[in-house]
Amino acid sequence: VKVNISGGTLSGVNEGISASSGTVLNITGGTIKSTSKSAIYHSGTGTITIGTKNGNVSKKPIFQGGTYGIYTTSANTVSFYDGIFPH
């Protein structure tokens, strides 16, 4: 499964996004937040790409987790190019 997020607000109590094994997340904008646990929870293997690798740094997307910004349970590839994790 491939999920592209470029704007808007995703929010949840436990997770803003919950993804399972094999999921590819491409996040280039928006706000993802959780009030109690993690903004992104990814179980199993997969790929998370945050922002765009273009030499310009952006403050979007925004990740706000109650405990974690990103929580993975297995070997995942996380590429971080843009965005912020405010506390």
Q: Name the nearest CA neighbour of 52 among 3, 2, 6, 1.
A: 6
CA angle 71, 72, 77 (to 5 degrees): 120
What pLDDT shows up at residue 73? 87
Burial 34-53 (b: 16+ CB within 10 A, else e): beebbbbbbeeebebbbbee
> For residue range 16-63, what is the model confidence (pLDDT) as tens digits?
999 999 999 999 999 999 999 999 999 988 899 999 999 888 999 999
